[in-house]
Amino acid sequence: MTTFLAASLALSVATAPAGARTVTVEVATFRNTRGVLECSLWSSPRGFPDHPETAAVKQRTAIRPDRTGACRFEGLAPGEYAVAVMHDENGNGRMDFGLFGIPKEGYGFSNNHTHALSAPTWAESRFTVGPDDDPVLQVRLRY
């Protein structure tokens, strides 16, 4: 078993691109621990943020008992990215909206830029990952 684990680790390290970076997204301010945290990472403005199916990478992770959560995106090339996060309280895999299209679940974006009546743009949310950077983003949820 130890040999298998060592071989698996060696394989995962060997297949990571040279210069690969990691982006960690830390999320706080969950109003409860129901459901999951969903993080979506875009590598271009196409579809950001209204079309999560166009995200380069998506992750779903549990919310911790202290009402925080985190996602890690590994193996990224240096470049520009943007992140959108959602507290999927009912676990249905999509943002639920109420009257007048107002989100019923928590959401947030890289750079913590939000508007009262619309989502932020790519330009407002993008961040740069340099060749020696492993950024840690702090994202606040808005309900």
Q: What is the pLDDT of residues 84-104, one digit of tens each?
A: 999 999 999 999 999 888 899
Both tokens assigned to 34 = 């129901």
The structural domains of the chain, with segments of one domain joined by +, span 20-140
Query: Between the CA of residue 5 and those of 12, 17, 74, what are the distances in Å?
Result: 11, 21, 19
What mean pLDDT comes out for the span 1-10? 39
What's the rounded Cα separation, in Å, for the pair 130 and 77?
A: 9
CATH class of 20-140: mainly beta
What's the rounded Cα separation, in Å, for the pair 46 and 103?
A: 22
Q: Which of 17-21, 91-95, 110-114 has the lowest mean pLDDT?
A: 17-21
